[in-house]
Chain A
Amino acid sequence: MKRQPLLIGSIVLVSVLVLAAVAAPWIAPYDPMAQSILRRFRPPSAEHWLGTDQFGRDTFSRMLYGARASLTVSVAAVGTALLVGGTLGLLAAFYRGWCDRISMRLMDVLFAFPVMLLAIGVVAILGPTSSSAAVAIAVVYTPIFARLIRAPALVIASSDFVMGARAIGASNARILVHHMLPNLASVILVQTSLLLSAAILVEASLAFLGLGTQPPAPSLGLMLSEGRNVLSFSPWIAVFSGLGIVLLAFGFNLMGDALRDRLDPRLAGHG
């Protein structure tokens, strides 16, 4: 088997980032909310690795908690979208007919909106909180999952082994769960990783616009927006919080990309 440094590298990167975010309460050197007037706007030092912000809060600790918040919202949103959209796409491909036509028309309508605008619209309805941001991202990615799953599911549904399973009397549920799902696993894995990367960016954008996590809770997008206001004299807040967003989104995107090469040999070699 060919060695795959990109796949291994991206899995290591994602694991380190996810572990750091999950373990934030144990590894963060400071309380992310603790304010100190005496320690405002400290540049990076041995004491505060990535400096402090306008309230004297430790940037590194806030980034760890921010990454945790970002991942929680993105994973919940993409998970919901996968469950709803994926199920719709699978059932539409399997049953065809009116079920397929109606659900795909509905998805077309959601597809009509630019992603960011739809997310902003949903948050405008529900009010700006991190859970609204999660719902917004789930709404945006549901039609995407439905389409992504439906196309390969259509091919599998008409393949010989599904016909064979039907011929020996397998029930619809059995065919869906035991024959179709395992064959869609690689598509699901790749797309989930890629869409997690995109969801992290949408979550950060919403928080940056003031439409996601609200202060004083730590969030990477919110830190970036706060850092923007003090850019001229303490640029480290904006620089590091943005770097955190990039690392998270980059890790998941590269992992999805490398997984696609590994799992779908037809696409290998096309960077």
Chain B
Amino acid sequence: MILRVAGQRLGDLALVMLGMSFLVFAMIRLVPGDAVAIMLGANTEVTPERMAALRAELGLDQPMLVQYGVWLSNVLTGDLGRSLWTGRPVAAEIAGHVWPTVQLTVVALVLGAGLAVPLGCLMATWRGRWADGLLRIVTVLGLTIPSFWFGILMILTLSILAPEVQALGYVPFSEDPLGNLARLALPALALALPILANLARLVRSAMLDALAQDYIRTARAKGLSERAVVYRHALANALIPFVTSVGIMTGYLLGGAIVVEQVFAIPGLGRLVLGAISERNYPLLQATILVITASFVLINFAVDLLYAAIDPRIRA
């Protein structure tokens, strides 16, 4: 049974990956006008020879499906192509920018998800008309305050309170572990705010649901302490929807990181993507989008499996 479900999920995964990679591959052909002329025009003089050379280099002179096959098999063997203007392997460019983004995303996820559980439980104990309304306004505010504005406000506040502290930029963890974490704190907080609001709210309503169930009454009736009832019995069930949401949130985090990196001048994948767009470096852009999206799909696949593991009802 479990094997069949896993097989089906793997099939779905392969289909989505295939479709997604085809869309990313087709990007350059969807550019209105002549993509080759646009790419050259953004960087150098356009001549017929240069256009023919670039077209051959990118394989745009071959039939689309043939080129997709070549591109996909290269990608699967780890060859993401070469950056147009520097000639450096795209894989190396991505490797040089990936860590700040991974760190930012992970810290924001830990911060958001970690704080959401206690906060949601706390919010579940405040009930009633006023508390419900107030909590709703606060959580909706948390959802709708854009990370880039929140980040700018924090930079502004810090510059007034402690002008000597450097809030922008990035120091690698290996060079200065404390400085690295200190610089990540504000961007991670800015990025985490909406998921904190979203997840805290989800935990609250799942807790309220769980606490109204019969098994909770049974647990209370057999004399368990209130703490055991809330944390061991109610929370265990309330966390099931939480896990799925965390998977979906990573998509928001990976996209949101691009914007937050821009605010805090962090040299991550966001800078790579925006730089590639401004210099019309399509091969670099395609590869970066492909890598980020594939990670997102794989994370959700893992979360799906995890979900099946913690909730036996899903396996049936």
Asked whether, in the complex, the Cβ of B144 is within 8 Å of the Cβ of A257, the reply is no
| A249-B144 Cα distance, complex, nearest whole Å | 6
Interface status of B152 (Cβ within 8 A of chain A):
yes
Asked whether, in the complex, the Cβ of B289 is within 8 Å of the Cβ of A112, the reply is no
Identity of the chain A residue whose Cβ is nearest the Cβ of B143 in the assembled complex: A253
Interface status of A145 (Cβ within 8 A of chain B):
no
Query: Of residues B16, B32, B149, B159, which shows the largest number of chain A Cβ atoms within 10 Å of its Cβ?
Result: B149
Q: CB within 8 Å of A: which of B150-190? A: 152-153, 155-156, 159
Question: Which among A117, A204, A239, A270 is the interface contact of B289 at CB below 8 angstroms?
Answer: A117
**Residues on the A chain within 8 Å of B292, using CB:** 114, 117
**Residues on the A chain within 8 Å of B139, using CB:** 271
Question: Which among B145, B251, B255, B277 is the interface contact of A246 at CB below 8 angstroms?
Answer: B145
| A227-B263 Cα distance, complex, nearest whole Å | 12
**Residues on the A chain within 8 Å of B285, using CB:** 121, 124
Identity of the chain A residue whose Cβ is nearest the Cβ of B254 in the assembled complex: A114
| A205-B258 Cα distance, complex, nearest whole Å | 10
| A245-B152 Cα distance, complex, nearest whole Å | 14
A132: shortest Cβ distance to chain B, in Å?
10
Q: CB within 8 Å of B: which of A234-271? A: 235, 238-239, 242-243, 245-246, 249-250, 253-254, 257, 269-271
**Residues on the B chain within 8 Å of A114, using CB:** 251-252, 254-255, 292-293, 296
What is the total of A-B residue contacts with beta carbons within 8 Å? 149
**Residues on the B chain within 8 Å of A242, using CB:** 146, 148-149, 152-153
| A114-B20 Cα distance, complex, nearest whole Å | 12
B286: shortest Cβ distance to chain A, in Å?
9
Which segment, of B46-54, B130-138, B232-240, faces chain A?
B130-138
B213: shortest Cβ distance to chain A, in Å?
14
| Chain A interface mostly | helix
Interface magnitude class on chain A? 35 or more
A49: shortest Cβ distance to chain B, in Å?
20
Asked whether, in the complex, the Cβ of B141 is within 8 Å of the Cβ of A108, the reply is no
| A201-B274 Cα distance, complex, nearest whole Å | 18
Identity of the chain B residue whose Cβ is nearest the Cβ of A269 in the assembled complex: B132
**Residues on the A chain within 8 Å of B259, using CB:** 116, 205, 208-209
**Residues on the B chain within 8 Å of A115, using CB:** 251-252, 255
| A111-B28 Cα distance, complex, nearest whole Å | 20
| Chain B interface mostly | helix
Interface status of B109 (Cβ within 8 A of chain A):
no
| A157-B309 Cα distance, complex, nearest whole Å | 33
Which segment, of B80-88, B201-209, B215-223, faces chain A?
B201-209
With A109-B23, A228-B263 as contacts: A250 and B293 at CB distance below 8 Å: no
Question: What string of 1s and 0s marks CB contacts (under 8 Å) between A103-119 and chain B?
Answer: 00110110011111101
With A105-B19, A108-B19, A224-B148 as contacts: A124 and B255 at CB distance below 8 Å: no
| A71-B205 Cα distance, complex, nearest whole Å | 32
Question: Which among B32, B156, B205, B262 is the interface contact of A238 at CB below 8 angstroms?
Answer: B156
Question: What string of 1s and 0s marks CB contacts (under 8 Å) between B99-139 and chain A?
Answer: 00000000000000000000000010000000011011101
Residues of chain B at the chain A interface (Cβ within 8 Å):
12, 15-17, 19-20, 23-24, 27, 30-32, 123, 132-133, 135-137, 139-141, 143-146, 148-149, 152-153, 155-156, 159, 201, 204-205, 208-209, 251-252, 254-256, 258-259, 262-263, 273-274, 276-278, 282, 285, 289, 292-293, 296-297
List 9 contacting pairs A-B, 8 Å CB cutoff, sorted by A: A112-B19, A114-B296, A117-B255, A120-B273, A121-B289, A127-B32, A239-B156, A242-B148, A250-B144
A109-B23, A115-B252, A231-B155 provided; 7 other pairs, C-beta below 8 A? Answer: A6-B133, A114-B296, A116-B256, A208-B259, A209-B274, A231-B156, A242-B149
Residues of chain A at the chain B interface (Cβ within 8 Å):
5-6, 105-106, 108-109, 112-117, 119-121, 123-128, 197, 201, 204-205, 208-211, 224, 227-228, 231-232, 235, 238-239, 242-243, 245-246, 249-250, 253-254, 257, 269-271
Closest 4 interchain pairs by CB? A116-B255, A242-B149, A109-B19, A249-B144
